[in-house]
Structure formats: structure tokens, C-alpha cells
Amino acid sequence: MNKINSNEAVINEDNTLVKRFFITISKVTTFVFHFFKELFIPPYEVNELIKQSYRVGNKSLLLIGATGFIMGLVLTIQSRPALADFGAQSWLPAMVSISIFREIGPMITALLCAGKVGSSIGSELASMKVTEQLDAMEVSGINPFKYVVVTRIVATTLMLPLLVVFADLISLYGSYVGVNLKDNVSMQLFIVQVFEKLQFSDIFPAFIKSLFFGFVIGVISCYTGYTAESGTEGVGKAANSAVVYSSFMIFLIDMVAVQLTSMFT
């Protein structure tokens, strides 16, 4: 009898988890539709959008720059011995640049932004909800969703591709430093070797992928903060959920993007 009851409890728990999952998906979908509805309806919060864009970029710039430089340097140093065995050291800049532009740059930048920007947005919006600032905006005649959510989602969507470009360039400079640890290659020759094999099909899909990364980070971070539970525990939970779910969605989008890119190239 106890075994039957325990099995029923497990089944009920599984059903509850599945039900909760689909309820969450429906709420996020409604949240996204609400975003697109408010996005095209005036008035437009341009000043707040510029402010949030500056915050997203400024908060991540130093961390992404340092990480990008180390990433390019380490990738070059690690790849050199394998190419040296075949006497193909001249391919090193092209190989590293393709790896950075296609995959490493967008992924690392998106994950860093999910950890730094996503947690910040999630905790900030949750704090605003706990302290009833969102309700105060509504009473004052300000649309809190448009002012708080729309501006932050648009800011992350626009700024992440720019941060990816910045990270790619810094990574290439790190690769240049790594190449010159063993060889003596001029910057001009290094750039020629980089763009000799780099094609438009390597850059454009990564740029489109970066837009989706930024959008997902903004949506999930704003959703977890905007719908956070009351109390200080809800603030911490919103920040943690923003990072975890954003990181998972980044990997999921990247997997789909790789499959689509391989089908059309």
C-alpha cells in the first residue's frame, strides 16, 4: 500500500511539474506578445532606451574586453602546436578568426551578458516590484511595462551585437599577440591572413544569432523581475532565474542556429 501511495505521489508531482512548465511557457509567450504590442505604440521612451543601452554596454565593456583578449590569446597558443606539426602555422590567424567570429565570440559574450546584465535587470525589476515602484508609475500615469520592460529588452537586443563585434576585434588583437610570441608577423600581414579565409557566411549568421541572444536575455531577465514574488527572497530568485534560464536559452538558440547554418551553407 505504501509503495502504491509513493508511486501515485511521484506521478502527481511529475504532472504538477509538467503543468507548471506549460503554464510558464504560456505566460512568457503572453509577455513577449505584450512587448511587441507596446513596442510600436507611442509614446516612445527614447531617453530611457538610450540610458539603458549605455548601462548595458558600459557594464559589460571591460569584462568582455578582458575576456575577449584572453580568449584570442589562449586559443592561438593552444592551436599553434597542432598546426605546427603539419607546417601550417600560416593558417593560424585564419583558423582562429573563423572560430571567434562563428562561435566563440557570440557565445562567450552572450553568456557574460546573461550573468552580468541579466542578473542586474532581474534583481532591479524585482526590487522595483517589491518596493511598489511599478505601482507608483502606473498611478502617476506612466506605463510601467513600456518604460521599464520595453526599453531594457530593446537595449539588450541592440547592444549585444555591438558587444560581440567589440569582443571579436579584441580577440583578434589577442590572437595577434599570441602569434607574435613565437613569430614576427606584422599587423598588416596578420589582417591579410585573417580575411583571406573569412567569408560573409561566417559573419552574418553570427550577427543574426547575437540579436536573438540579446532579445532572449532581455525577455527572460525582464520577465523574471517583472513577475517576481514579494519579499527579498523574490529578488534573489529573480536574479538567479534570469541567469540560469538565459544561459540555457543561449545554448538552445546556438544549437538551432548551427543546424540551420549547416543546412544553407
pTM score, two decimals? 0.88
Instruction: Give the residue among 250, 239, 163 at the shortest CA–CA distance from 212.
Output: 250
pLDDT digit string (tens) for 149-179?
A: 999 999 999 999 999 999 999 999 999 998 8
Range 208-227 burial, b when 16+ CB lie within 10 A, else e:
ebbebbbbbbbbbbbbbbbb
Neighbours of 163 (CB within 10 A): 28
What's the mean pLDDT in 5-18? Answer: 55
Would you place residue 135 in the very low, low, confident or very high pLDDT band (cuts 50, 70, 90)? confident
As a whole number of angstroms, the distance between CA 10 and CA 30 comes to 30
Q: List Cβ neighbours of 60 (8 Å cut-off, separation of 6 or more).
A: 109, 112, 113, 116, 117, 163
Report the C-alpha dihedral over residues 164, 64, 167, 187, rounded to 10 degrees: 170
What pLDDT shows up at residue 221? 93
Residue 213 amino acid letter: F
pLDDT digit string (tens) for 177-230?
A: 988 888 788 888 888 888 887 888 788 888 999 999 999 999 999 999 888 877
What pLDDT shows up at residue 10? 45
Q: What does the angle CA 149 – CA 256 – CA 198 come to, to the nearest 5 degrees?
A: 100
- Is residue 141 left, alpha or beta, with left meaning phi > 0 and alpha meaning psi from -120 to 50? left
pLDDT digit string (tens) for 227-259?
A: 887 767 778 888 888 999 999 999 999 999 888
What pLDDT shows up at residue 216? 95
As a whole number of angstroms, the distance between CA 161 and CA 169 comes to 12
pLDDT digit string (tens) for 120-129?
A: 999 889 888 8
As a whole number of angstroms, the distance between CA 58 and CA 102 comes to 24
pLDDT digit string (tens) for 85-133?
A: 776 677 788 888 888 998 889 999 999 999 989 999 998 898 888 888 8
What pLDDT shows up at residue 198? 81
pLDDT digit string (tens) for 17-74?
A: 677 777 888 888 899 998 999 888 888 888 999 999 999 988 788 999 999 999 999 9
